[in-house]
Amino acid sequence: MATNMLTVPLRRTEPIELGPAMRSYIENSYDQHPDMFKTDISALDSLRASIVELDLRAQSITTLTKYFTQLTFLSSKFPSTLFTFKWYSTLTYATSAAVQHPDLQFERANVLYNIAALHTLLAADENRTTPTGLKNAAQHFQSAAGCFLFLKESVNPELKLSPPEDLNNHTLDVLINLCLAQAQECFWQKAVVDGLKDKTIAKLAIQVSIFYSKALDATLKTSSIKSDWIHHITCKKHHFEAAAQYRAAADSLASAKYGDEIARIQLALEAVKRALASAKHVSPAVADDLKGLQTKLKSDLARAEKDNDLIYLVMVPSLSTMPPLKGAVTVSAAVPPEIKDTSEALKPGSPYGPPLFIKLVPFAAHQAASIYVDRRDTLINHLIINKIDVLTAQLHEFLTRMGLPGSLQALERPVGLPPSLIAHAAEVRASGGYTALKASIEDVRNLAQMNNSMYVAAAETLEAERKEDDDMRARYGTSGWRRLTSREAAKEQYARLEQFAAALKTASASDETVRATFRENEQVLRLLSEDPSVIEKYVPSGSSAELSPELEKRLEEMRSKMAQVSRLEYARRKFVEQVREKATNDDVTDLVLSESARLEQLDPLGKIDPSMFEKAFTDRLASLYDADKARVEKETEEQSALLVDIELANMDFSAAVARSRGDVSTERERALQSLEAGYYKYQELAEHLSEGRKFYNELSGALAQLQDEVSDFVYSRRVQLRDEESELAARFESINISREQRSESPLPAPRAQGLPAAVLSKGKEGGSGVWNPEMGIQFGKRF
């Protein structure tokens, strides 16, 4: 039926098949065959198809709600980015450009928006001339407000990208308060029909005005509300302010407050005047009601002033001193329970269930497994392997300071190469030697450049979008260009960009340290990569003097200590290999599946979060790796004791050898020591380069994902930019046409969207077309 209340148009979408992407993901990511879920896939595709075209009936809300609850449950089973959804705005002037996001939450947001919009359409379709119709309309408007509120507070925060302008929080604030105003208006109309006291009706009316005022304030923060809506909301705000003051004046008359009555009527007339300023662009029914109210107020003012002048002779208070009217709130944003708690809505016997894909392992379980792997690798690398590497590096640095094992090798084998050095050189050659090391350095350099290029590309794309937005803001001003700034809209992407910048800066410094170490040791690294005969020419021969008994004793002690060092290093290498092998075999799948089953048994429809696996993971890590962490601590203590023993033994050894060692022997010692140190530097560089290659390869994947997100964001922002430019152009054109009409001839004003043709409210006698105060302000009512 005809109505003068605003209705929110449904957003449009295009058909899409979800099945192929779901089958592919199940097949590639789950240990379950997609054919197990063909019925569920078909049911979901049918649900999606059913929401593309909707009829104006209550069953359509059930259809939308069923799809919404299934989407909510589905988000615990599949990644949010598995599907790309396309939706068209219908609230703004520009409705031809689609916004598409690869985000399941974007689909949820649009479906919930349409549930709210459908509630407004059903509310307007109610027969508000009957008590039942008024009650149903009020309930629909409150449900619409509740859906918009839930969208704002619970769904929008989960979006991967910022919502388009007509779905952002400022636009939703307009819609929430508009729906509350229209719901409150239904209660006001019921109070008028029921003949409640003027004081009560005044409180209800002023609260309608307050809600409209809040909606009007919110329109200043969004560019998605059309000018005819703004005129309608403005007119209604002042209209109900006038209606409230009129009822307050009637209450003052009944209370013999004659001066207050006159002041209230005057305030009402001022409000009517403000309302009439916007009346050219609203429904003729509203405009006619206003004129009728104005006529009645003028008549009442004349009568009240005459009575006061002749009979009561009381002072009329100044309008500025009149206390503001207090509202009586009778409505609230009522989130439908099936929207607020989908787990309850999907229980057996519900019209929205049963939940689809209930037998599919939750996506959170896969996320949890990845989290466990990350935690395990962090524990192993930082608390076990890295600590062992640090201990070994400290051991090598200590031995180098002591001149070991060079001093022993020079004395034991004055001619030729020691067997340990021959073995170390062979190990270097087998792993590629100097050439492989240099190639790895170049490899890491290229990977770093590639990652930096990806970072720069993402940063430049965001910067270009920011400049576009700034240009539009400068062109139209902050009052005209009211969408979020680029940094606000892409807050997450900018934050991640800063994190990547810091990571690349740190990595660059580490790379330079590695290259500097390589340059400092380049000569000895080259030499270690040569054949033994070349290395032997580099090492001078020593003297073959006979060793004294004391020196023989000290040499034997040092041999024992160095053998202890060799056994320690060997044991550490085996320990690290064992830990890595244990980690490789540490398959957490069974634990995750059993824990998922336990959680689903506790709450079959509840959403499983990766954090719920925390205790199980902590217990598993402790049982598997606490003993290894304890061994590292023991190694630290044992090494400290060993270093003290070596230092004391080396002091005795150095004192015994000092008297018998010549200059040639000293040169041989230095040469052997530099080669041993070069071997350890080779190992260190090879490890650092391997870590660098792994770091950049992993970072490139994360940067590629960021580039995709930035591209999606910029695409949606540019679509939004075109829409808003079109909307502003349409708004300016409307203003220009309005000016031309005022300057030429008084043509009929355009009707507000969704408002009926003129319907005059008639008095009890009918036919006059003049507003009757006994009936209240009758919006769109037929007799």
Q: Report helix angle 227-254 to 169-194, nearest 10.
A: 40
Task: Report d(CA 22, CA 37) in Å as an integer.
Answer: 10
Residue 558 reports pLDDT greater than 80:
yes
DSSP, residue by residue, 445-504: HHHHHHHHHHHHHHHHHHHHHHHHHHHHHHHHHHHH--SPPHHHHTHHHHHHHHHHHHHH
Last residue of a domain, one of 343, 360, 377: 360
Within a domain: residue 729? no
Place of tokens 């009522």: 334
Q: Which residues lie below 8 Å from residue 365, measured CB to CB, with a gap of 6+?
A: 592, 593, 595, 596, 608, 613
Query: Could you give the C-alpha distances from 745 to 67, 332, 440, 738, 739, in angstroms and in order?
Result: 52, 44, 82, 11, 10
Tracing tokens 């041989």 back to the chain, one arrives at 668
Is residue 328 scored above 50 in pLDDT?
yes
pLDDT tens readout for residues 197-251: 999 999 999 999 999 999 999 999 888 898 889 999 999 999 999 999 999 999 9
Is there a domain that residue 720 lies in?
no
Judged on CB neighbours under 10 Å (0-12, 13-18, 19+), 48 is buried
Q: Is the Cβ–Cβ distance between 301 and 110 less than 8 Å?
A: no
**pLDDT digit string, tens, across residues 312-326:** 899 999 999 999 999
Cβ count within 10 A of residue 475: 11
Query: What is the pLDDT averaged over residues 184-188?
Result: 96
- Say yes or no: 525 and 496 in one domain: yes
pLDDT, residue 637, reads: 93
Residue ending a domain, choose from 661, 694, 714: 714
CA distance 529 to 681: 13
**CATH code where residue 337 lies:** 1.25.40.280
* Burial per residue of 32-47, b for 16 or more beta-carbon CB atoms within 10 angstroms, e otherwise: eebeebeebbeebbeb
Q: Is 13 helix (H, G, I), strand (E, B) or coil?
A: strand
Q: What is the pLDDT of residue 10?
A: 95
Q: What gap in Å lies between CA 665 and CA 676, rounded to an integer?
A: 17
Mean pLDDT of 178-203: 96
What pLDDT does residue 752 have?
Answer: 34
Supply the pLDDT for residue 780: 38
Residue 543 pLDDT greater than 80, yes or no: no
122-146 pLDDT, tens digit per residue, is: 999 999 999 999 999 999 999 999 9
Among 172-176, 698-702, 749-753, name the one with the lowest average pLDDT.
749-753
Contact 68/110 with Cβ under 8 angstroms? Answer: no
Q: How many domains does the chain have?
A: 3
Residue 742 clears pLDDT 60, i.e. is over it: no
Number of H helices, E strands in the chain: 25, 3
Residues whose CB is less than 8 angstroms from the CB of residue 3 and which lie 6 or more positions away in sequence, other chains included: 124, 125, 128, 754, 755, 756, 779, 780
Sign of CA dihedral 107, 112, 115, 121: negative
Same domain, 567 and 620: yes
Q: Is 663 a residue whose pLDDT tops 80?
A: no
Q: Do 409 and 519 reside in the same domain of the chain? A: yes
On whether residue 604 sits in a domain, the answer given is yes
Q: Per the domain annotation, does 721 fall within a domain?
A: no
Residues 143, 275 share a domain: no
Going by the DSSP 8-state scheme, the letter that residue 352 receives in this structure is: T
Sequence-distant (6+) residues with CB within 8 A of 237 are 209, 212, 213, 216, 275
- Please report the pLDDT score of residue 659 as a whole number: 63
777 pLDDT more than 50: no
Question: Which of these, 1, 284, 298, lies nearest to 130 by C-alpha position?
Answer: 1
Q: 10 Å Cβ neighbour count for 765?
A: 7
Answer with the residue of higher pLDDT: 2 or 131: 131
What is the tens place of the pLDDT at every residue in 439-493?
A: 999 999 999 999 999 999 999 999 999 999 999 888 888 767 777 888 888 888 8
Residues 233, 188, single domain; the answer is: no
In a domain, 726, yes or no: no
Q: Is residue 699 part of a domain?
A: yes
Same domain, 390 and 520: yes
Based on the domain organization, do 297 and 444 belong to the same domain? no
132 and 167 together in one domain: yes
3-state secondary structure of 99: strand
Same domain, 32 and 155: yes
Q: Where do we find the tokens 């720069």?
A: 456
Nearest to 43 by CA among 26, 67, 59: 67
Tokens for 80? 């949010």
**Shared domain check, 485 and 453:** yes
Tokens of 215: 């909606």
Give residue 542's pLDDT: 66
Looking at the fold, whether 222 and 187 belong to one and the same domain comes out as: no
Last residue of a domain, one of 670, 686, 714: 714
Domain of 228? Answer: 196-329+750-775
Can you give the pLDDT at residue 744?
44
Burial of 750 (0-12, 13-18, 19+ CB in 10 A): middle
Q: How many residues does the chain have?
A: 783
In terms of domains, do 185 and 223 share one? no
C-beta neighbour count of 87 within 10 angstroms: 22
* CATH number assigned to the domain comprising residue 383: 1.20.140.50
Beta strand 98-101 with 12-13: parallel, antiparallel or unpaired?
unpaired
Asked if residue 258 has pLDDT above 70, the reply is: yes
Residue 780 belongs to some domain of the structure: no
DSSP string, 557-584: HHHHHHHHHHHHHHHHHHHHHHHHHHHH
783 found inside a domain: no
Pick the more confident residue, 110 or 687. Answer: 110
Give the per-residue pLDDT at 452.
Answer: 95
pTM surpassing 0.95?
no
